[in-house]
Structures are given as C-alpha cells and as structure tokens.
Structure 1
Amino acid sequence: MMKVCVFGAGNMGARISEVFLTNGHDVTMVDIKPEFCERGVKTITGDLSFLVKKEKMTEEKKNELLAGLKTSCDRNAAADAEFVIEVILEKMELKKELLQDLDKICPPDTIFASNTSALSITEMAACIPNRADKMIGCHFFNPAQIMKLVEVTRAIQTSDETFQKAFDLMASLGKTPVSVNEGPGFVVNRILIPMMNEAMGIVADGIASPADVDIAMQLGAGMKSGPLHTADLVGHDVNLAIMETLYRETGDPKYRPHPLMRKMVRAGWLGVKSGKGFFEYDGPFGKEIVK
C-alpha cells in the first residue's frame, strides 16, 4: 500500500483516485474548493454503487472504501505522500506552480506524476530541478476506472528507477502500461486527435453527417466508438488544446486545428461535459439523445 495524493477532483481526478482506492492504496484527493472535492466523491460513490448493483462489489466494501477516502483543500495533505499525481487544468503555468509548491512540501523521494494528455513532462521536470529525476507522465484514459491503458512517459530527466517504479505501480492497478519517450501528444493522442480533426473537416465540408462519419469508421475501420463520439467524450476544449500543442511543438501544418473545432469551443459546445457537441445529450454528462 502506498500513500497517494491526487490533485484534481474533476472527472479524471476522481476516477484516478477511485482506481488507487479500489486497489488498496491510502488516497487523498485534493482540490481548491470543498464543493469540487464533494463532486469528486459523488462521482466515485456513483461508480461504486453501480458495482454493488451489478454484484461486483458488496455494500460493505463500498462503504469501507468511501470511509477510507480522504479529501482536502490544503496542499500540505501531500506532506507524507509517496506518489503524487496532478490531474488539474491543462495549463502549463498552473502545473508548474503546483509542482514547485509540492517540491517544498513532499519528502525528497516522492514520485511526481502528471496525467497531462499532451504537455511536456520535460518542461515540468525542469521547474523542480532538485527532483527532476522523480518526474514522470502517467496518462490515464477516460473513463479511467474502466480503460486499461496508461501511457508512462519519460521526461529527458526521468531516472530509470522512477520509470520502473511508476510502470510497476500502474501494472499493479490492473492497467496495461506502455513505455513512452516524451514527444508531442505521446502515442494515442498524436494519432487520435488529428483523426478527430480530420473527421470534423469532413463534416464541415458537407461530405457526411457526424453520425455517418462515425458509422463509417466503426464498420470500415473497426473502431469501437467513432471519432466524433470520442471527440465529444474527450471534450472539444481538450481536443483543441492538444491540437494546438501538436501544432506548436512540431510546426507541422498537418496538426493545425480545424476552424470548426475552434468555433465549437467558442460556442461552449464541448461535448458530453456541456450536453452538446456533435451530438446532443440530456444535460452535462447525460445520455445521448437519439433523434
């Protein structure tokens, strides 16, 4: 059992906390407001209640896990953490500020991980030079309690010891980790997000409807979920941020975000999280409205 501190109680942060919690770790989930922490606990409670309903967990076990989950709005909650993972907004300056603060709080052998989907782990490591070798990327996929993949991404400064500890930890959670040397978008998003971008271009050009694009890719390319449903699930604000990172880091025009992606973000049509994207949902995080 490790003492784990998860920074961020949003959808991904809560689910990552849940993964550690259900695998026997001592978990503290930290966010900036009590209501954010409460929302994260509600997300975890809903997931565990579903497992009880499906008879994959007892009510007693659910209550035991929830009783053991700690929340806090104080960064000092990480003072004795062995493994810290940040799951905060995808803004480098916010991540650096958090890491530099935690550098003063955490023991020297604490491993620092980021769940970033595209930002540079090397740049994060450089902001904590005294423990840059302890920085690693551990990119879970949505929904984190179900999806098996974790991209374990080395910064140029990451030590072999840190990498192996993080890799083994992810495997112990029932995940399938893959080893990644840092590059823009890592592996999955470097392939997936430009595919979503291209799918948006097909819709914008009037070649096919969003539903038909997804059906075509499901039945013609073996995708479980089409690119536009997947884009709605990820969130178009996140998709745009990743495309901008790919474009900025590589300078390659093939990674330029499609204007339709920008337009949807400006409209607040972010996908499942807002209740509307390429498809409509019965409220934020609701079920799709089939027309």
Structure 2
Amino acid sequence: MKNVAVIGAGTMGNGIAHTFAQSGFNVQLIDVSEDALKKGMDAISRNLDRMVSKEKITEADKADTLQHITTFTNIKEGVEYASLVVEAATERIDLKLNIFKQLDKVCREDTILATNTSSISITQIAAVTSRPDMVIGMHFMNPVPIMKLVEIIRGYNTSDDVTKRIMDLSKELGKDPVEVNDYPGFVANRILMPMLNESIETLYNGVAGVQEIDTVMKLGMAHPMGPLQLADFIGLDVCLSILNVMYDGFKNPKYAPCPLLVNMVMAGKLGVKSGEGFYDYSESRKAENVAQQFIK
C-alpha cells in the first residue's frame, strides 16, 4: 500500500499528504483547482521548513518528502494507482457522499476508501458505494504531522481485514491508532464538542470573559490550550457542523449549539481561518477579545 491518494488540499488534506509523503509513500494530492493545490503545497513546504529549523529533519528530507507528492485536479487520474484513498474535503455530508460515489466508480475494486470526517456516519458514507466492507474512517488530528492520535472508525459493514490493515498502516506512519465504533462524534468529538459548547454557553451567559474562561481551563485543568482558543483553532463553522450532526443523531438537547456560536458563524467569525473568532488574529489586534459584540 505505497500509493495513497488524498482528496482535498486544505489544512487537513495537506497535513495528511505531508505525513504520508514523509513516511515514504507516493501521494497523489487532489483538489478542484490548481490554486487550492498550490496553497496546499505551499503549506506543506512551510511546515517542512519549520521542521528543518527545529532540526527534526534535514533539507534533504524536505526535498524527498516534496518529491513524493504529485498534484491532480482530476479525481479519476489522481486515484488510478491508489491502494488507499483518504477523503479530507469540507465537513458536508452532501459533498462527501458525492465524492464517495465518484470514487467507487473510478477506483480499482481492491482500493480502500477512507474518510477523515470528524463526525459524519461511516456507515452512511459507505452505503453509497458498492464496497461498504472497504470503507473506513481515519480521523486525523490537527496539526496532522505532529499529533499522534488517529481515530479508526469502523462502519457497520467495515471488514476485520480492512480495519487491521488501516490500524497497521497508521502505526507505519508513526501514529497511535485507536479503534472506535460508528456513532455520532465518535469518541474525540463526542467528548470534546460538548465541553467547547458549554464554554461558549458560559461566555454567552456572562459568567466570565474569553480570557478568564480559557485561563481557568489551562491553569485549573492542565489543558495546553483554552477551550475558546481551541474552538477558534478548529474553526467555529466546523464546531457548529459537528454539534449539529450530534444533535441530529442523538436528539439530545445537550448537543444543541449555543446561540452565540450560531451567530458568530453566520457573521463569518470562524476563528483563525477568518482572522477573527473569540480572539482577533489580525496583526493590529492579535488576541483581543471580539466575541462580546455578539452577546445580546
């Protein structure tokens, strides 16, 4: 399994491509436009430069990693020789189902199809293919080259053989895979997202400010990053999407997104990716709390 195609050159996709390429795999990175691919490759190059500056790799290692990545804008061409395809597109069920329908048609019959979804049902995704036994979840953590955890999610029909192969493959990448079953949010987000949502509720209810909430959790609970800062880092739109999937799946009000989170996403305040969320990431107002304006 040395040829791996990655669908999506965004933050997660380019991180996954980087990780496979650095481990010696031939990677076909696929996105809809040359511009998206260029941005993705630029991000990989910058991340490799950071590793060189920290003396974790050499310049030769960087060059070798980049040589292992080829870019494509055509899915059929990109997956032609792939033994594994990892989908890392935007967290939208309609988009993912459409991609898997395409992959099922153009990939070889023995190609394993994986998704990096953080919450969407693997069983539902697998159901649109003719190979549900070969569809599995590989939920990498951000930043992918650094974070060790990979949640390996079995769909209802995922075979034991495919699960074992993906578990072994993850270890080959230097990751620590954990096998979980297919329920909304899996393990990581089923526990994390209610905590982030409750932190936003705490702010929304005026109990404390952004920095105060984050400080309590960092100093009192030994979290390396406060929950509101973490939400900004993940992307508030992603947090909202995951909470909606969990709320729809469990029909439990404890997963209902806080109105403040909903309003911020509608206003385009998505966190680091948009330059503003619970903190302001612009050069002129870095780390300044801007969330209070959304509290009515």
After TM superposition, is the score higher than 0.5?
A: yes
> Aligned in 2, Cα 1:91/1:290: closer, same or farther, shift over 3 Å?
closer
RMSD, aligned CA: 1.5
d(CA) in 2 for partners of 1:228 and 1:289? Answer: 12
Q: Quote the residue 1:266 is aligned against.
A: 266
1:12 maps to 2:37: no
d(CA) in 2 for partners of 1:267 and 1:171? Answer: 41
> Aligned in 2, Cα 1:271/1:6: closer, same or farther, shift over 3 Å?
same
**Any residues of structure 2 matched to 1:13-92 within 5 Å, and which?**
13-76=13-76, 77-92=78-93
**Any residues of structure 2 matched to 1:157-176 within 5 Å, and which?**
157-176=157-176
Q: How many residues align?
A: 288
Q: Quote the residue 1:142 is aligned against.
A: 142
d(CA) in 1 for partners of 2:195 and 2:251? Answer: 18
- The AA in structure 2 aligned to 1:88 is A
1:234 maps to 2:234: yes
- The AA in structure 2 aligned to 1:199 is S
Q: CA deviation at 1:290?
A: 5.9
Unaligned 5+ residue runs, structure 2?
290-296
d(CA) in 2 for partners of 1:173 and 1:33? Answer: 28
Q: Quote the residue 1:123 is aligned against.
A: 124
Q: Quote the residue 1:114 is aligned against.
A: 115
Q: Quote the residue 1:187 is aligned against.
A: 187
Unaligned 5+ residue runs, structure 1?
none
d(CA) in 1 for partners of 2:162 and 2:171? Answer: 14
Partner-residue secondary structure (3-state), 1:162: helix
d(CA) in 2 for partners of 1:148 and 1:132? Answer: 27
Q: CA deviation at 1:64?
A: 2.3
- The AA in structure 2 aligned to 1:172 is E
Q: CA deviation at 1:288?
A: 4.5
Partner-residue secondary structure (3-state), 2:274: coil
For structure 1, which segment, 107-116 or 217-226, has the greater mean C-alpha deviation from structure 2 after superposition?
217-226
Identity across the alignment (%): 42
Q: CA deviation at 1:61?
A: 2.1
- Please list the CA deviations of residues 219-269 of structure 1 after superposition, one character each: whole Å capped at 9, or x if unmatched: 212211111111000000000000101100000011110000000001111
- The AA in structure 2 aligned to 1:214 is D
Moved over 2 A (4+): 286-291
- Please list the CA deviations of residues 53-98 of structure 1 after superposition, one character each: whole Å capped at 9, or x if unmatched: 1222221221222123100001111011001000001111111111
TM-score (ref. length: structure 1): 0.96
